[in-house]
Chain A
Amino acid sequence: MGRWFYVLNGLILAFLLLPVAIVILFALNPEPFIAFPPSGFSLRWYDKFLHSRDFMHAFMLSLELGVGTALLAGCIGTAAALAIARGNLPGSGFLTALFLSPLVLPGLLTGFAMFQLVMVLGIGRSSSVLLVGHTVVAIPYVMRTVLAVLANADRSIEEAARGLGASPATVFREVTLPLIRPGVIAGCMFAFITSFDQFPVSLFLVAPGEETLPIAMFNYLRFDFDGTIAAASTVSILLAVLLVLAIERTVGLQNSTRL
């Protein structure tokens, strides 16, 4: 590899990571406003974030929604991908497009449409409705990763198991699932992050008093512009890093992302 290749890679990495580094620095600035460079070192904004009832409630809700979305979207997305790839369904192209449509539509439009639906049905907004909304948006990520793994999976192993008398459930449990496991885990990881950072859908579906972290941050930003936002952002970034590390430690990130 040439020297310029490394320089270019370094520049791209700097472009991607520099904003994150600046946010982390903002969170440590003791001044009551966001300024760069920081004038000192303080953990006051972390203290404010961690002792804020609103932020903590929003953070916990976002975590719960993220886990719920990863589980729900993981199950539905995996089942849908299997049905489309292995099921010989009529109109599988249409079904694929239908499941992937939240990726194509602008998020605000999806959120607005869902809000209108729950209003017309008289269901109202609640955390359960928000979970459904997040799941709909996250399913395409699981489907894409599972479909990609399925495309490369050796189908003859499943056929051999079936030929040896295994029931469909046993084939799925003993053969298919281990084969697609990297795609399912990577999809669930994307689903969690999509839900945790979800803004446009949450904007319309959050119930009063049940704001998620991105919505709480947006509302805060309209009235106060101090380092609390930077502290909240840093915690979100750390959470994403921890999640990736946890997956790496438990199932192996390289295995999960080799698609």
Chain B
Amino acid sequence: MLNRRTLLGAAAGTLAMPTLLGAQEANTLRITGWGGAWGEVMRSKHIPTFEKAHNCTVEVDTAFPFVPKLLASPRGRPVYDVLHTNSNEQWSVFEQGLVERRPDLKLVPNAAKTYPYATSDSIVGIVIFTSAIGLAWRKDRIQAAPASWKDFWKPEYAGKRASYVIPANSLGQALFMMAGKVYGKGFKDLDASFKAMEAVKPVRLFDFTGGAENAILAGELDIAVLHDTAAYRNQDKVPVEFAAPSEGVMALEQVLSVTTGTPKKALAHEWINFMLSQEVQRSMAETVWYSPVRSDLTLAEKYRGKLLTTPEQVATLVQMPWQWYNENKDRIDDRVNRIFRG
């Protein structure tokens, strides 16, 4: 039976609902994130720690694509508070005014403990981890380890090497720029890069690194442009090795940036600081094989010599000029499409 008390209670509850939802919303940090092993460790371990410490909820969107969603959300009400992507995507997002150039480093004390490349001029946002892009190769099929990027072009690997669909994949784009450096005057030498792309055929091109990783594990290929993480995490299964070419390994940085107009700026900076903490840096390095960006971290024996933790190892990292690449992307896409289609 509906009495006056029940009616008043229901009315009060209904009236309070928007306030309650608003309060809940105000306490929710919306970020982008990755799936796979990364997502599992974050969800089971680090996100609950952060939520408890800051009395908040962290809402992780792992469904790509992130940038179009951010682009489609109202400017004053971005769909994310913190954007987590690879470094190449951050420039175009920044140029569209969707993220801030750099988090306020005064609010990120752990940033002082990072290697300079984390906040270099070629980066929008701040780097939290990096993978090294080099050459993964099968020890059972290749006698001598590749030493230079030029080895990828050797005639004996024709049809047995893997790279990526350049318009769609950042590793393919990075290789394109590296080809300009090793065969021409530098990363921005378009003619040298185009010639090198002609010369690398026949080559199997993949959309995702997972495809190339699978093909080299299955023994379909001898050599592939791949990140170190993919090679190291599979060494217990197949005879695959990672080679860091003498010209340097290309950095595939994971970057966090604060979105423009987010009402949760303070919490967003707390999250970035948390991701740079010793605990998270060590844990993610040792579980998912990403090189930490902190300079004061000593990892377990198993990871030494593989992940880039010492100043000497970090010095081999080459950061790619993504801003320049994005400015020339349409032109490059058009030409490489014709090269690989022909």
Contact = CB atoms under 8 A, between A and B. Distances in A.
Interface of A: 31-35, 54, 112, 115-116, 119-120, 122, 202-204, 206, 208-209, 211, 215-216, 218-225
Given A116-B72, A122-B77, A208 B218 contact: no
Given A34-B218, A208-B59, A225-B211, A219 B35 contact: yes
A224 B210 contact: yes
B237 interface: yes
B36 A208 contact: no
B64 A34 contact: no
Contact of B72 (A115, A122, A216): A115
Nearest to B214: A225
Contacts of A206: 63
Chain B contact residues (Cβ within 8 angstroms of A): what range? 20 to 34
B62 A208 contact: yes
Interface in B53-106: 59-65, 68-69, 72-74, 77, 79
Interface of B: 30, 34-39, 59-65, 68-69, 72-74, 77, 79, 208, 210-211, 213-214, 217-220, 234, 237-238
Given A119-B73, A215-B63, A220 B36 contact: yes
A65 B220 CA distance: 39
B62 A219 contact: yes
7 contacts: A32-B217, A33-B214, A119-B73, A119-B77, A208-B61, A220-B36, A221-B210
A224 B238 CA distance: 16
Contacts of A33: 213-214, 217-218, 237-238
A35 B218 contact: yes
A220 B214 CA distance: 13
Given A33-B218, A203-B63, A223 B210 contact: yes
A143 to B, nearest CB: 28
A119 B74 CA distance: 7
A221 B64 CA distance: 12
A225 B72 contact: no
Nearest to A204: B69
A149 B304 CA distance: 70
A34 B206 CA distance: 15
A225 B62 contact: no
Contacts of A32: 217, 234, 237
- 10 interchain residue pairs of minimum CB distance: A223-B36, A225-B214, A35-B218, A219-B35, A33-B217, A225-B210, A208-B61, A116-B72, A208-B59, A119-B73
A31 B238 CA distance: 10
A122 B78 CA distance: 11
A43 to B, nearest CB: 19
Given A31-B218, A35-B218, A208-B59, A219 B213 contact: no
Contacts of A122: 77
Contacts of B238: 33
B218 A112 contact: no
B20 to A, nearest CB: 15
Contact of A112 (B38, B72, B217, B234): B72
